[in-house]
Amino acid sequence: MLKYISSKQKSFFIKNFFQNCEKFNLREVFINKFFLNKCLNEDELKVEYFLIYNKYNELKGILNPELTYISHIENIAQNNYKKYCYYNSCYRNESSQKNRLNKFYQVGVEYINNSKNYMCNAILCFIQIKMLLSDFKIKNYVLKIVLDEKYKEYEKLIIELFQNIATVEFNTIQRHGAGNNAYYNLSFEVYYDNIEILGGGMYNLSLEKQKIDGVGFAIGVERFVNILIKNNYYDIEEPNIQKYKILLKNKENNQELFNKFLNLYTIIQNNNCTDITFSTKFITSQDTTIL
């Protein structure tokens, strides 16, 4: 059950979320029709305030938060954003009462891919997730990942990244149902105390003549803040946002695989991410990972 959340507690979380995004030079965007589904047949349906009506003004559906990727497409195409973050309200029909809506807020991050940084953006998402959860003192969570077989070699890198702080579970058969089933190659969810607090993945969509593919994740604000309250996070002093150092380890002495991982981090480093230091030396299994 959700506890009472003060506006101060919510504002504190949102402020720190955007501070985390600033490290990755993410641009905050505002989308008026946030969950406007461009796939709707406009001759038969109309959208008002996240609700879908037919021509007889009968409520036919709710634009769920999992449909965020669709609403972002128009904004991406018009403004040519490569990476951005957002905060906005959502509605979901979770009540047994007909047409009863529950309103909540969501923050999220989107990285638009290109041929040079396809997997780089996915790894960058995982780095940001780990940094964000570390900032809020959340540990011992479970990261469930559905990863296509062709990217299986990246499993070791992801496990290494979350070592000693989270349990990483991979599944190459099952596909997460979020994102209106639009996720492909990669989808993931983070669970803390058996509660899903974060979800995301890769998507591939088209808008008119423009093809858009990317990777992103989203967090339900109220649910996340309730976790912080449960952990007595607000009873401690406001933490300083940390600087991070990421070290790669070559436990299996596989130079070819190590170079591939190192190249990914080099691309990320050249992506103007601030407050993050990347090691470029050959690291042995005796070295430790800091993050």
Taking the domains of the chain in order of start, what are their residue ranges? 7-278
pLDDT at 193 over 60: yes
Residue 106 clears pLDDT 90, i.e. is over it: no
pLDDT given for residue 49 in this prediction: 47
Which of 276, 280, 270, 110 has the alpha carbon at shortest distance from 201?
110
pLDDT digits over 3-46, tens only?
Answer: 678 888 898 999 999 999 988 888 887 654 433 433 344 444 55
Query: In 125-264, at which residue ranges do the beta strands (DSSP E only) sit?
Result: 141-147, 166-171, 183-192, 195-207, 210-220, 244-246
Question: Residue 78 contacts by C-beta under 8 Å, 6 or more apart in sequence?
Answer: none
CB-based burial label for 201 (10 Å; 0-12, 13-18, 19+):
buried
Answer with the residue of higher pLDDT: 108 or 260.
Answer: 108
Please tell me whether the overall predicted TM-score, pTM, comes out greater than 0.75 for this model.
no
Helix (H, G, I), strand (E, B) or coil at 170: strand
At 171, the pLDDT band (50, 70, 90 cuts) reads: confident
Q: Domain 7-278 - what CATH class? A: alpha beta
* CB burial of residue 288 (10 Å; 0-12, 13-18, 19+): exposed
Between residues 73 and 34, the one the model is more confident about: 73
The Cβ-side half-sphere exposure at 116, using a 13 Å CA radius, reads: 7
pLDDT band at 260 (very low <50, low <70, confident <90, very high): low
Among 121-125, 158-162, 280-284, name the one with the lowest average pLDDT: 280-284
- What is the mean pLDDT of the segment spanning 158-186? 76
Residue 164, phi-psi category: left (phi > 0), alpha (psi -120 to 50), beta (remainder): left
Q: 84-98, 127-141, 204-218, 267-281: lowest mean pLDDT where?
A: 267-281
Q: What pLDDT sits at residue 225?
A: 94
Among the ranges given (141-155, 189-203, 228-242), the one the predictor scored with the smallest mean pLDDT: 228-242
Average pLDDT over residues 69-91: 63
